[in-house]
């Protein structure tokens, strides 16, 4: 699977090339030579060959599902059909960049307490008597945190769990907001590209990264298939904040669902940014207090 940073950069560069009037085959040939990463470069070369043989871009991209998601292919197809390929590619690049930026912010909050805990535990172990006997404990802590970070990086088409329980104070709130930002931005782009709402919901559910939200979206999708409105379907899922339901309802009534969902995403992305900064600030102060307390305990223990 191609790196998300490389894919976003490739998409933005392709949008610029197409917008400047450069023929697709020529644009892809140039981008393939610019070093987007070996794996992505090989895929781009294969796509270029298919285009040169008469295949349209969306069909060529669809031959590489490990690199280009269903949403990516469908949005490109919509761009081809409407003559707005550069606009749609730019929207895809923006979405990929926003998803990554939000994920990195959330990861910084989730990882920080782990390192703080590891630092405190390792310091206590190393400074306590019998270091050699307790070295195995220190090693286990490091391995456990490494395993936890690796699990955070793993994703599947259908999320198997929530990285953090959504009810958890601070961390669960930040995580849920980041998931809602990802879901609403994906759904907004999909609907704006002309993808039917029920299909767009399926795509958004798969990219959510949360088992809880995945199930909620699929429940909403089922309600829409049975004839319910988007507002009623979101309410029926019992997982979406009132603001999301209200703004989605407004978009449905005015015929601007995609635009309204994108506004919701922008709100949550800004909210996540502020929440992450606040959480990190609190944890930094807490780390100072914990470190000072640990030093005091160690000093008193040696008196």
Which of 12, 38, 68 delimits the end of a domain?
68
* Whether 86 contacts 19, CB under 8 Å: yes
Within this chain, do residues 23 and 148 fall inside the same structural domain, yes or no?
Answer: no
The answer to the question of residue 119 being in a domain is yes
The answer to the question of residue 198 being in a domain is yes
Structure tokens at 10: 């490739």
Q: Which of 190, 206, 178, 179 is nearest to 259 (CA)?
A: 190
Q: What is the pLDDT of residue 210?
A: 87
Within this chain, do residues 126 and 209 fall inside the same structural domain, yes or no?
Answer: yes
**Residue-number span of the structural domain to which 39 is assigned:** 4-68
Instruction: Report the alpha-carbon distance of residue 45 to residue 32 in Å, rounded.
Output: 6
What CATH number is associated with residue 175?
Answer: 1.20.81.30
User: How far apart, in Å, are the Cα atoms of 176 and each of 86, 163, 230, 283, 287?
Assistant: 32, 10, 20, 19, 25
* Whether 244 contacts 184, CB under 8 Å: yes
Q: What is the pLDDT of residue 219?
A: 94
Q: What is the pLDDT of residue 297?
A: 73
Q: What is the pLDDT of residue 142?
A: 46
92, containing H or E segment? helix 85-127
Within this chain, do residues 93 and 49 fall inside the same structural domain, yes or no?
Answer: no
The answer to the question of residue 9 being in a domain is yes
Which of 36, 68, 100 delimits the end of a domain?
68
pLDDT beneath 70, residues of the chain: 1-2, 34-37, 108-164, 167, 170, 283-284, 287, 291, 294-295, 298-299, 301-303
Q: Residue 165: left (phi > 0), alpha (psi -120 to 50), or beta?
A: beta
Q: What is the pLDDT of residue 176?
A: 87
Total of domains in the chain = 2
Within this chain, do residues 145 and 28 fall inside the same structural domain, yes or no?
Answer: no
The answer to the question of residue 173 being in a domain is yes
Within this chain, do residues 155 and 42 fall inside the same structural domain, yes or no?
Answer: no
The answer to the question of residue 78 being in a domain is no
Q: Residue 23: left (phi > 0), alpha (psi -120 to 50), or beta?
A: beta
Within this chain, do residues 38 and 129 fall inside the same structural domain, yes or no?
Answer: no
The answer to the question of residue 115 being in a domain is yes
* Whether 175 contacts 164, CB under 8 Å: yes
At a CB cut-off of 8 Å and minimum separation 6, what does 237 contact? 216, 217, 219, 220, 223
Q: What is the pLDDT of residue 161?
A: 61
Within this chain, do residues 301 and 265 fall inside the same structural domain, yes or no?
Answer: yes
The answer to the question of residue 196 being in a domain is yes
Output DSSP code: residue 66.
T
Within this chain, do residues 62 and 134 fall inside the same structural domain, yes or no?
Answer: no
Q: What is the pLDDT of residue 75?
A: 92
* Whether 240 contacts 215, CB under 8 Å: no
Within this chain, do residues 112 and 225 fall inside the same structural domain, yes or no?
Answer: yes
Within this chain, do residues 25 and 92 fall inside the same structural domain, yes or no?
Answer: no
Within this chain, do residues 64 and 100 fall inside the same structural domain, yes or no?
Answer: no
* Whether 10 contacts 30, CB under 8 Å: no
The answer to the question of residue 128 being in a domain is yes
Within this chain, do residues 215 and 302 fall inside the same structural domain, yes or no?
Answer: yes
Average pLDDT, the chain: 80
**Core vs surface per residue 101-119: b (16+ CB within 10 A) or e:** ebbebbbebbebebebebe
């Amino acid at each position: 699977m191609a790196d998300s940073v490389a894919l976003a950069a490739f998409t933005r560069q392709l949008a610029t090339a197409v917008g400047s009037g450069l023929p697709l085959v020529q644009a892809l040939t140039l981008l393939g030579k610019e070093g987007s990463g070996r794996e992505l470069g090989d895929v781009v070369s294969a796509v270029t060959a298919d285009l040169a043989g008469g295949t349209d871009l969306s069909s060529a991209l669809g031959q590489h599902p490990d690199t280009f998601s269903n949403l990516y292919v469908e949005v490109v197809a919509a761009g081809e059909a409407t003559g707005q390929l550069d606009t749609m590619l730019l929207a895809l690049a923006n979405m990929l960049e926003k998803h990554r930026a939000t994920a990195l912010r959330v990861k910084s909050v989730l990882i920080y307490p782990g390192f703080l805990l590891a630092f405190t535990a390792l310091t206590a172990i190393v400074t306590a008597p019998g270091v050699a006997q307790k070295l195995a404990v220190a090693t286990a802590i490091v391995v456990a945190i490494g395993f936890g970070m690796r699990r955070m990086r793993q994703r599947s088409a259908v999320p198997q769990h929530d990285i953090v329980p959504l009810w958890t104070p601070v961390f669960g709130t930040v995580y849920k907001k980041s998931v809602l930002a990802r879901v609403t931005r994906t759904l907004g782009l999909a609907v704006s590209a002309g993808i039917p709402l029920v299909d767009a919901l399926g795509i958004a559910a798969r990219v959510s990264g949360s088992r809880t939200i995945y199930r909620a979206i699929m429940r909403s999708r089922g309600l829409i298939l049975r004839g319910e409105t988007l507002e009623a379907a979101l309410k029926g899922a019992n997982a979406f904040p009132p603001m999301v339901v209200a703004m989605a309802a407004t978009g449905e009534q005015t015929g601007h669902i995609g635009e309204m969902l994108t506004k919701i995403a922008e709100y949550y992305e800004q909210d996540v940014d502020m929440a992450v900064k606040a959480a990190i600030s609190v944890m930094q102060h807490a780390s100072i207090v914990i470190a000072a307390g640990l030093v005091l305990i160690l000093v008193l223990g040696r008196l």
